Copies of this chain bind each other. A is one copy, B any other.
Amino acid sequence: MEPKTLYEIILELFQARKPAALKAELSEHEPADIAAALLDLWDDGEIREDTLPIIFRTMPKALAAEVFAEMDTDLNEALIRSFSDKELKAVMSELFIDDAVDIIEEMPANVVKRMLQSVDSDTRAIINKILDYPDDSAGSIMTTEYVALRPTMTVSDAFARIRKTGVDKETIYTCYVIDRDRHLIGLVTAKELLLADSEAIVGDIMEDNVISAHTLDDREEVANMLSHYDFLALPIVDKEDRLVGIVTVDDAIDVLQEEVTEDIELMSAITPSDRSYTRTGVWEIFLNRIPWLLILMVSATFTGIIISSYETALAAQVALTAFIPMLMSTAGNSGSQASVTVLRSISLGELEFSDLFKVIFKEFRVSLLCAVALAVGSFIKIWLVDYLLMGNKDITLPVIAVICLTLAVTVILSKLIGCVLPMLAKKIGLDPAVMASPFITTIVDTLTLFIYFQFATAILAI
């Protein structure tokens, strides 16, 4: 027999009204798994607004708060609405500040008001401050719950402090050393503390070249820094270099994943959304996709205009029409290869705008090679397949020359446009991903047709 899933266990014990057994079972599982099982039960209609709180209340307080932090927004909201003020207060006091902020950001105004009223005024001030940071800033993803040490402490003082305050801290593994004015002056890891003599002075063993970021720095750059340096946390300072919070590695991973999803969506002409595909409704998915499809459809008008204005040329050489899709798709693919490669390097922090000419030169050489290979490849293919095999007499040598020349020139131009546009976008503060695939394709399509008909009229004298 297969072992029961958590979904089945919760459902069975809940329906059998066995809260003690349910509590024991849930205590054995990870918060993320419990949150996922509850979401599935919710989606399947097995639990509702009236039954969810009953299951939630069976969990021990600390676990309940962790599950709450991992939950989908819909379930958070349903729970908060059913909570008494006392219950809400209990959950809020157990949440880490950054998790509380994440949840508050997704709630409707009246729920936010209740949530903020349930915490003490100091916490409320901190939450409000974090909520004020711009969405894409380091400040918006940081937590204020870190261990702060003083440089004059001994290692055993430091441990005493960690034992006293550590239970509420998001991480105790990197401790930050601050002076009287809260300026960040050093850091020491729990590993260093553990391996040091208990009488050693924190100020002597701390690392005093601390890498930090600013509250208004871009959150993706901060996440990349954590990844680059293999840090577990990165300190965030304000304009006066005072320590105001830390960003932990688990939040950095979430940021990296979200930013990648956003890039991929923009690259595919989709308005990015915070919600996962499975949790997004049909209407919302439609709204995220249709504006781009309409814009791209209308911008394809240019290709139509070019074709219309060369109607007589096309009528004179009917074979030319058959190669339009191949030429446009090859140029489009060449361009998006370049744009996507450059875009990814920008996201990973490998390319700066100052590398522009290096990139152009590199792509130019790559595109020359591609142009030659594709021109030769298409010459062979057209000669063998279209001319010899299929015996299409419209395909003369001059026609083949027009096709191969167009291919070569457009591949080179597409790659150059593809690598330049994302870097320019980044320079002027746009998201470079917007300049990837579909826009490049539309520009490249128009250009390809234009060049094709230029060569056709010149070489074929039509």
Binding site for B on A (CB under 8 A): 28-30, 32, 159, 162-163, 166-167, 172-173, 190-191, 194-195, 209, 211, 226-230, 232, 249-250, 252-254, 256-257, 260-261, 263-265, 267-270, 276-278, 282-283, 285-286, 289-290, 292-294, 296-298, 300-301, 303-305, 307-308, 311, 314-315, 318-319, 321-326, 328-330, 333-334, 336-337, 340-342, 344-345, 348, 350-351, 355, 362, 365-366, 369-370, 373-374, 377-378, 381, 385-386, 392, 411, 437-438, 441-442, 445, 449
Contact = CB atoms under 8 A, between A and B. Distances in A.
B296 A330 contact: yes
29 contacts: A166-B191, A173-B190, A232-B249, A249-B253, A252-B253, A253-B256, A256-B257, A261-B344, A264-B267, A264-B344, A267-B267, A268-B333, A268-B340, A268-B341, A269-B337, A277-B341, A289-B337, A290-B374, A292-B337, A293-B337, A293-B370, A296-B329, A300-B325, A301-B326, A301-B381, A301-B385, A311-B321, A325-B325, A325-B328
A442 B333 CA distance: 11
Contact of A253 (B191, B227, B333): B227
Nearest to A325: B303
Contact of A438 (B159, B318, B333, B392): B333
B296 A345 contact: no
B329 A445 contact: yes
Dominant secondary structure of chain A at its interface with chain B: helix
Contacts of A330: 293, 296-297, 300
Stoichiometry, copies per complex: 2
**Which of A277, A303, A319, A381 has the most B CB atoms < 10 Å from its CB?**
A277
Given A32-B228, A337-B270, A370-B289, A307 B294 contact: no
B209 A227 contact: no
B362 A282 contact: yes
Nearest to A411: B293
Nearest to A327: B300
A410 to B, nearest CB: 12
A31 to B, nearest CB: 8
Nearest to A172: B191
B374 A297 contact: yes
A276 B344 CA distance: 10
B293 A333 contact: yes
Contacts of A264: 263-264, 267, 340, 344
A167 B195 contact: yes
Contacts of A348: 257, 261, 276
A281 to B, nearest CB: 9
Nearest to A36: B228
A377 B211 CA distance: 53
A308 to B, nearest CB: 5
Contacts of A278: 345, 350-351, 355
A128 B376 CA distance: 46
A99 to B, nearest CB: 11
A345 B250 contact: no
A342 B445 contact: no
B303 A326 contact: yes
A2 to B, nearest CB: 15
B293 A334 contact: yes
A162 B190 CA distance: 11
Contact of A209 (B28, B32, B209): B28
Contacts of A289: 334, 337, 366, 370
